[in-house]
Structure 1
Amino acid sequence: MQARIRTAKIVGMVLTMLASVGVSLAFAPPAQAAQVITDIAYAPAQPAGSRGHLLDLRLPSTGITPRPLLIWHSGSAWTSDDGKAGAEAIANIFNPLGFAVAGVSVRSSAQAIFPAQVHDIKAAIRWLRANAATYQLDPNRFAIMGNSSGGWLTEMATLSGGVTALEGTVGTTGVSSAVQTGVAFFSPTDFLQMNAQNLPTGGLNHDSPASPESLLLGCPIQTCPAQAAQANAMTYADSNDPPLMFLHGQADFLVPHGQSVLLYNRIKAQCGDATFISVPGADHILTEVMDPVHHGLQTVSTTTDCGETVGTGTLNPTWANFATFLRGGLKLGTSCEVTYATGVWDGAFNGSVTIKNTGTTPIQGWTTTWTWTGNQQITTAWNATVTQTGTQVTARDAGHNSYIGPGSSQSLGFSATATGTNGIPAQFQLNNAVCTRVPA
C-alpha cells in the first residue's frame, strides 16, 4: 500500500510538471503586445507528425534591436515532445524587459534516445542564430532557461559548447550552438547517484529500467555507465563555460537536491562560473523554489575564477534577480548612471551623455535611449551612432567605445536644435535598463 501511495504521488507530481510551469507573474511589468510566431519547424519532424522539432518565438513590441534572446524548455521527465509549452508565461515576464523568448521543443525519450534531445536543442539554437537578422535577434546574446529535464537541457547546452559529439546533424549546421548564459531549475546531473541521494522518506527508483533516466538512455542506467557519463553535464564543465545559475529545493522528491550540489562542486573544481541557490523546504515545483516564504533562508554559493563566496539569505530567487543575472551573463549591464549636460545658445545647443557601468559585470556593446520633453532635434553626433524618431533618441556605441567595464564610463556628444523649453529627458536607459541620473 505504501509503495502504491508513493507511486501515485510521483505520477501526480510528474503530471503537475507537465500541466504547468508554475510561473508567478508578480514580477512581470504591464503586459505589452508581442509578435507571436508559432510552430516554426527548425528541422523536419522526426517521426512524421511529431512536435519535437518545433519552436515558438515571441518578440517584444518595444525595446532596442537587435534583441537578446531567452530560450525556454519545459520539463516533462523527457516524456513530452512539446517542451515549448510554458514559454508564453516566461515571455510575459521577459518580453517587457526587451528579451525575445523562444519556446523550444525536442523529441521525447519514446521517440529518440539520448543524445537526440541535446542534438535537438543545439539544432534549435543554430537555427535561431542563422535566422537572427530576420527576427532582429542579437546572435551574441543567447540565454537558455528550463526546469527539471528542461533544466538538464539548459545545463547541457550551457556547459557543452564546442563538444563535437553532441552537435549532431539535425537541421541547420555550420552555425554556432553556443549560449552565453543559462538558468536551470532542479535539474538531474549524475543519474548513477540519484537513488543514493533520495530523501530519507523515499523518492523515485531512478535505477529501474522504467525510470525516466533509463528510458532516456535506452538502458537501465547502472548497466550503461558510459552513456550516463555522456548525459552528465558535469562531464563538460570547464573554466571556459558561460556563467550558469541553478536552483534546487532541499525537499525535492523527484530529483534529489544533491544533484545540484555535485554540479556546483564540479564547476568550482574546474574554476568555472556558477551560482547555486539551495532552498530549504522546497519540492520539485518552481513556485515552491521561488516562494517568498523561503526568502532569506536560502543558501547562495557563487564560484568564479577559483574563488568562492557562500551566504545565507542573499539573492532571493525572484524573476527580477534572474533577469539581472541574465543581463550580466549577456554583458548587457545590470545597473548604470547617466550624467547629462548641455551648453545652450539661441535655437541650438550641444549636449553630452556620460554612461557609467555601476554593476559588477562588463558591458560589451551598448545602446542608450531617451525621450525629449520638447521639440529638440539632433543634427550631428560623435562617439555614437545616433538616430531620432519623433522625440525618441537611440544612441549606439561607435565600435571603438563599445566596452564599459565595471565602474567605468563612456561618453557621447551631440548638437541639436530646439525652440521653447529644452528640459532634461525624464529617463535614460542603457540596453533596456533604466539608469540613475546624476547631476552634471
Structure 2
Amino acid sequence: MALTMLAAVGVSTTFAPPAHATQVITNIAYAPAQPAGSKGHLLDLHLPSTGITPRPLLIWHTGSAWTSDDGKTGADAIASIFNPLGFAVAGVSVRSSAQAIFPAQVHDIKAAIRWLRANAATYQLDPNRFAIMGDSSGGWLTEMATLSGGVAAMEGTVGTTGVSSAVQVGIAFYGPTDFLQMNAQNLPTGGLDHNSPASPESLLVGCPIQTCPATVAQANPMTYADANDPPLMFLHGQADFLVPHGQSVLLYNRIKAQCGDATFVSVPGADHMMPQIMDPAHYGAQTVRTTTDCAETVGTGTLNPTWANFATFLRGGLKMGTSCEVVYTTGVWNGAFNGSVTVRNTGTTPIDGWTLTWAWSGNQNITTAWNATVTQVGTQVTARDAGSNSHIAPGSSRNFGFAATATGTNAIPAQFKLNNIVCPRVSA
C-alpha cells in the first residue's frame, strides 16, 4: 500500500497553461536498456518554438518511491509551463529499485545529464545552463544530483562518460534525506514504517535501512552538501504523511552549517502532493528560510510557491538575470541612424552571458555594431555579448552600439527582452 500511495503522487496537469507548440522527441536512449526491454535509460525532450538559442534546460523526474522506471512521465506538464518561457525540458527516467539498487539511480540521472550535455549542440541546449527538478523520490534525485557534483562514487560508468554531470540549480519537492530518522519524524497521527525491510527506502538500498547505516549515509543528500554547491530550493508540507517534513529541516540545517546556498519553503497544512504545496490558500503563511554564504534570512509568506517564482529562482541560479531595464537612444540623419543600448541588471543575481532581442516596427536594417554581435532576420534583431562584456553584476550595466539604415518612420522598439525576459525601457 505504501508503494502505491507514493507512486500515485505525481505532477498534476491542472497547473499546466494552454498547450504551446513544441517539438517533442520521445524515448531517446541515453544509455543501453538495463535490463533489456526496460525503460529506465530513456528520456523525452520538449523543445520550445520560441525564445533564444542555445536554450536553458530543465530536467524533470517524477517520483514513484523508486518503484517505476518511467520517471519521464509528467514532463509534458512541466514543458507546457516552461517551454513558453524559453526553456527546453527533458523528462528523464532511471531504473527502479526492483531493477537495480542504489547508487544505480544516481548513476542513471548523471548519465542522462552527461548525454544531454554531450549532445547540447544538436538540440540547441546551453551546456552551461542545466537545471533539475523533481518530486518525492524525484526530489531526492534532484537533491543528489545538485549536491553530489564531482563525487566520483556517484558518477558511475553508465552511458556517456568524460562529460560533466553538474547542474547549475535545483528545485526539489518533499524529498527524503536521512532515511534512518524518518520513523522518528513521522506525524503524531502516524506514517509509513520506513524501517521495514519492505519499505521504499530499504528496497532502494537493498537492505533494511537500520542494518546498513553506511550505505544509507551514501544515499543521504546531506552527505554531499558543501559551500561550493549550486543553489537549491526545496519545498515541504508540514502535514506530509509519507515523507516527514523534518527531512527537509535536516537538509536545510546541514546546508546552512556548510555555508551553502539553499531556500527552504515550509508550507503549513500541506501533504505529499504538489497541488497542496502550491495551493493559493497557503500563500502568505509559508515559512521561508534562505541561507547564502553563512548568512540566513527567515520570513513568513515571502515566497509564494508559484511557477512564476520557481522560474525566477531557476533563472537566478542559471545566471540569466531576473529583472532588467534598457536605455535606448538614437542619433538620426537622412536615411541612416546610430543606436546606443544600455542594459542594466536590476536583479539580485549576476548575469553571465546575455542576449538582447527586439523587433523593428519599420524597415530599419542594421549594418554594423560594436561591443556586441548583432544579427537581424527580417524585423527581428538579436544582440549577443562580445565575450569580454558577458558578465553583468547586480546593479551594473553594459553598453553596445550599432549603425543602421531606415526610411520613413524610425520608431523605438516596443519591447526588449534580455535572455527572454522583458526589460522595461527607461530614460537615460
| Runs of 4+ that moved beyond 2 A | 10-16, 23-26
Alignment-derived partner of residue 3 in structure 1: none
On the 8 A contact 1:35/1:60 being kept in 2, the answer is yes
Alignment-derived partner of residue 165 in structure 1: 153
Structure 1 position 21, deviation (Å):
1.3
Structure 1 position 439, deviation (Å):
1.9
Matches within 5 A, 1:160-239: 160-239=148-227
On the 8 A contact 1:69/1:137 being kept in 2, the answer is yes
On the 8 A contact 1:58/1:101 being kept in 2, the answer is yes
Distance 1:436 1:224 in 2: 57
Letter in 1 for 2:72: K
Is 2:98 the counterpart of 1:110? yes
Distance 1:390 1:11 in 2: 55
Letter in 2 for 1:16: A
Question: Which residues of structure 1 form unaligned runs of 5+?
Answer: 1-6
Structure 1 position 22, deviation (Å):
1.8
Alignment-derived partner of residue 16 in structure 1: 8
Structure 1 position 167, deviation (Å):
0.3
Letter in 2 for 1:122: K
On the 8 A contact 2:179/2:194 being kept in 1, the answer is yes
Distance 2:137 2:3 in 1: 15
Distance 1:247 1:348 in 2: 54
On the 8 A contact 1:23/1:287 being kept in 2, the answer is no
Distance 1:23 1:280 in 2: 23
Structure 1 position 31, deviation (Å):
3.6
Alignment-derived partner of residue 242 in structure 2: 254
Is 2:356 the counterpart of 1:364? no
Alignment-derived partner of residue 34 in structure 1: 22
Structure 1 position 195, deviation (Å):
0.2
Alignment-derived partner of residue 15 in structure 2: 25
Q: Secondary structure at the match of 2:26?
A: strand
Alignment-derived partner of residue 277 in structure 1: 265
Distance 1:321 1:24 in 2: 18
Distance 1:386 1:107 in 2: 45
Q: Secondary structure at the match of 2:79?
A: helix
**Structure 2 residue aligned with 1:312, among 300, 303, 309?**
300
Q: Secondary structure at the match of 1:110?
A: coil
TM-score (norm 1): 0.96
Deviations 1:178-235 (A, max 9, x none): 0000000000000000000000000000000000000000000000000000000000
Alignment-derived partner of residue 140 in structure 1: 128
On the 8 A contact 2:283/2:301 being kept in 1, the answer is yes
Deviations 1:263-303 (A, max 9, x none): 00000000000000000000000010000000000000000
Question: Which residues of structure 2 form unaligned runs of 5+?
Answer: none
Letter in 2 for 1:25: F
Letter in 1 for 2:300: T
Structure 1 position 24, deviation (Å):
4.0
Letter in 2 for 1:139: P
CA RMSD of aligned residues (A): 0.9
Matches within 5 A, 1:397-412: 397-412=385-400
Distance 1:294 1:218 in 2: 38
Distance 2:277 2:384 in 1: 38
On the 8 A contact 2:94/2:109 being kept in 1, the answer is yes
Deviations 1:55-99 (A, max 9, x none): 000100011000000000000000000000000000000000000
Is 2:67 the counterpart of 1:83? no
Letter in 1 for 2:11: V
Structure 1 position 385, deviation (Å):
0.3
Structure 1 position 13, deviation (Å):
3.0
TM-score (norm 2): 0.99
Matches within 5 A, 1:123-134: 123-134=111-122
Letter in 1 for 2:191: G
Is 2:85 the counterpart of 1:93? no
Alignment-derived partner of residue 263 in structure 1: 251
Letter in 2 for 1:329: G
On the 8 A contact 1:31/1:96 being kept in 2, the answer is no
Distance 1:352 1:125 in 2: 40
Q: Secondary structure at the match of 1:21?
A: coil
Distance 1:251 1:354 in 2: 49
Distance 1:424 1:241 in 2: 43
Q: Check 1:23–1:257 CA distance in 2 against 1; reply closer, same or farther (3 A cut).
A: farther
Distance 1:134 1:22 in 2: 31
Q: Check 1:125–1:54 CA distance in 2 against 1; reply closer, same or farther (3 A cut).
A: same
Letter in 2 for 1:22: S
Distance 1:32 1:93 in 2: 9
Letter in 1 for 2:244: P
Distance 1:257 1:183 in 2: 16
Distance 2:394 2:21 in 1: 34
Alignment-derived partner of residue 51 in structure 1: 39
Deviations 1:300-343 (A, max 9, x none): 00000000000001110000000000000000000000010001
Distance 2:11 2:313 in 1: 20
Distance 1:337 1:119 in 2: 42
Letter in 1 for 2:364: Q
Alignment-derived partner of residue 120 in structure 1: 108
Alignment-derived partner of residue 57 in structure 2: 69
Q: Secondary structure at the match of 2:171?
A: strand
Alignment-derived partner of residue 286 in structure 2: 298
Structure 1 position 32, deviation (Å):
2.6
Alignment-derived partner of residue 390 in structure 1: 378
Q: Secondary structure at the match of 1:55?
A: strand
Letter in 2 for 1:339: V
Distance 1:205 1:412 in 2: 62
Q: Secondary structure at the match of 1:207?
A: coil
Letter in 1 for 2:213: P
Q: Secondary structure at the match of 2:8?
A: helix
Distance 1:24 1:75 in 2: 18
Structure 1 position 11, deviation (Å):
5.6
